[in-house]
Amino acid sequence: MCGIFGYYGRRDATPILVEGLRRLEYRGYDSSGIAVKNNGINIYKKSGKVERLSEMITTEVEGTIGIAHTRWATHGEANDINAHPHLSFDGKVAIVHNGIIENFREVRRNLTQKGVELNSETDSEVLAQLIALELAKGSKPIVAVRRILKRIHGTWGLCAVFSDHDQIIVARNGSPLVIGKGTDETFISSDPHALMEHTQEVYFLEDGDLAEIDHTGFKITRMSGQLSSTEVTVLEEEWGEVELGEYPHFMIKEIHEQAEALRQCIAGRTRHKQGTVKLGGLKLTPAEMRAIPHVRLIGCGTSLHACQIGQIAIEELARVPAVAHVASEFRYNNSVINPKAIHLAVSQSGETADTLSAVKEIQLKGGSVWGIINVVASSIARQCGMGVYIHSGPEQAVASTKAFSNMAASLILFAIQMGRTRSFSAERGRELIDNLHTIPGQIEKYLANPGPIAEAVDAVIGAKSVLFLGRGVSAPVAREGALKLMEIAYIPCMAYPAGEMKHGPIALLEKGSPVVVIAPNDKLKYKTLSNIQECKARGAKIILIHEEGDDELAEEADISIAVPKSEGLLSPLLTVIPTQLIAYQAALKLGHDVDRPRNLAKSVTVE
């Protein structure tokens, strides 16, 4: 989604800004631009890829102070004019903005009445115009920005440069912004990954923070003008640059990294002798775990599917009620919050606005939220203050793969830890732990010989739609498989719990309709088998993901993809992989940009 990069120092800003934008590209965007201060403010902006922008900057733009942006369109189409930065009517201020100005219509109207002509269709442009009007009254830049933000409703990660002041002013409210401290230079970004090549010393701004950046460094204050308590964080090595290596795309690289990522996720967390798990970041004693009345899991997209697996694992192992919720709905449904309950916010990026808002809502109502997060020190991780890092390592492809597996695995670990305090024996715990430790090796074994993926791809790419079915823990896997194929191959997909198929989607089946069925050899196998028969009776083509050696089931398939045998609850960690491969190969065959699918963003920072 939208990304911000900024530079204040002694070096030429332009190449640093363009490189910063390249590091933000993985997040998804549709236009980009830079503003560099020299005699006045020079702006270059362009729809399309950063490559197009850099081709456009033919003459060297001199200047050591600048801001840059990748835009993911919300208000106004993705064209050159709506791209950021936006320049004020008098040419004295340029801004880049992430977030949404909710009262922008009213503000635009007021500006028009004052004779200010707006150039773009965006909500963001009003910020530049308002700041310019404040500066014209004689306010200093920091005062001008602070004043105008008091009139704005919405969210912002804002950066402004000025033609008449050697300063950058930044502000955060609900949209991440990080300041990186270099030697005699300062960097700004909405994404800490983009700062790693310059510095590891960073300051994550809090909501309500503003910062004044100049030749002396920077000063972070609150909207009230008081000093902010924001402190330095030292970024870990794992946030560093991620290379493709031998792989053509990040998605396939990340699919193959799943085994190692899973090892990292489990490492040091299991206690074999006691048959339990220790997730230190939970900061919960066994007695506290025993007292928990229910668990609610909150996430979006792939993370929601991991939550649905977590729901089943927690109910099965810990015998405590658990429910997975769509974060964007949860936030606004005025949910009843029990302060004794556990709420788990699940997110790869840790920046998803819907999930972050739900976390804040729960906390406002007196509830406690634990983060199940990949990106260390991300907004959700910091907002929760406690939880579990899933340790997938950086995930660059927009389509989430290795994070899904580690989110599901972390939730299963949580279920084992909780279950041991309440319901099952050390022996059962040891069995689960042993089985979990065998999964990474089984993933490697499967990936070495993934079966007839190409045949499955041929069956889905020409289809009007693809139906994914599964029962129990395989129902969320079906949803995840459908989401993956839809988001990168742009094929309409539907996912249903297999038993629900006869209540509606069966109407779509005709001769040759592809149906992907996830059917491990678990207690629900024969139920799923009946649903396979129902599909076959209507001429559907069955692409079956099943357990190795389960010939009884394999015989029913048109295309049969076998994964290694595993304990039922752990089967999603294996059965999901063929669905990822089908999506990847289908998108490739259709000629799509696998890592950066259209319209999507890696980190969705608007509600």
What residues act catalytically? 2, 602
CA 479 to chain CA mean position, Å: 17
Shortest distance in whole angstroms from residue 347 CB to ligand M6R? 3
Strand runs labelled E in 294-403: 295-299, 322-326, 342-347, 368-373, 387-389
- What is the amino acid identity at position 323? V
Q: Which residues of 476-587 form beta strands (DSSP E)? A: 493-497, 514-519, 541-547, 559-563
CB of 572 to ligand M6R, least distance (A): 15
Measured from the CB atom, is 402 or 420 closer to ligand M6R? 402
Q: Minimum CB separation from ligand M6R for residue 303, in Å?
A: 4
SS (H, E, C) 372-433: EECCCCCHHHHHHCCEEECCCCCCCCCCCCHHHHHHHHHHHHHHHHHHHHHCCCHHHHHHHH
Residue 74: CB minimum distance to ligand M6R, A: 15
Please count the CA atoms within 13 angstroms of the CA of 341 that sit on its side-chain side: 19
Question: Least distance in Å: CB of 573 to ligand M6R?
Answer: 17
**Dist. CA 223–CA 143, nearest whole Å:** 10
Specify the residue, 345 or 519, whose C-beta has the smaller distance to ligand M6R: 345
Least CB distance to ligand M6R at residue 487 (A)? 6
If you compute the radius of gyration of the chain from its CA atoms, what whole number of angstroms results? 25
Nearest approach in angstroms of CB 372 to ligand M6R is 10
Q: How far apart are CA 41 and CA 451, in angstroms?
A: 57
CB nearer to ligand M6R: pick between 63 and 572: 572
Based on CB atoms, which residue is closest to ligand M6R, 107 or 601?
601
What are phi and psi for residue 209, nearest 5 degrees?
A: -85, 150
Those residues with Cβ within 8 angstroms of residue 533's Cβ, 6 or more apart along the chain or in another chain: 556
Q: Judged by CB, which is closer to ligand M6R: 167, or 347?
A: 347
Q: Supply the minimum distance, in Å, between the C-beta of residue 471 and ligand M6R.
A: 22
Residue 94: strand pairing partners: 87, 161
Task: Give min distance, CB of 190 to ligand M6R, in A.
Answer: 14
Taking Cα atoms as reference points, which of 386, 405, 411, 432 lies closest to residue 276?
432
Do residues 456 and 559 make contact, with C-beta atoms less than 8 angstroms apart? yes
Residue placing its CB nearer to ligand M6R in the complex, 65 or 482: 482
Residues that bind ligand M6R (CB under 6 A): 300-303, 347-349, 352, 355, 398-400, 483, 487, 600, 603-604
Residues 6+ apart with CB under 8 A from 69: 2, 3, 4, 5, 21, 32, 33, 34, 83, 84, 85, 96, 97
Task: Please state the closest distance from residue 137 (CB atom) to ligand M6R, in A.
Answer: 42
- Nearer Cβ to ligand M6R, position 26 or 162? 26
456: left (phi over 0), alpha (psi -120 to 50) or beta: alpha
Instruction: Give whichever of 295 and 604 is closer to ligand M6R, judged by the CB atom.
Output: 604
Is it true that the peptide bond before 450 is cis, omega within 30 degrees of 0? no
Nearer Cβ to ligand M6R (335/347): 347
The number of helices, as runs of H, and strands, as runs of E, in the chain is 19, 26
Whether 548 and 560 have beta carbons less than 8 Å apart is answered as no
Cα gap 291→158, rounded to integer Å: 44
φ, ψ of residue 537 in degrees (nearest 5): -60, -20
Residue facing ligand M6R at closest CB distance? 301
* Token couple for 71: 């835009």
Asked whether 394 and 237 are in contact (CB, 8 A), the reply is no
> Which lies closer to ligand M6R via its Cβ, residue 120 or residue 189?
189
Please say whether the beta carbons of 466 and 475 come within 8 A.
no
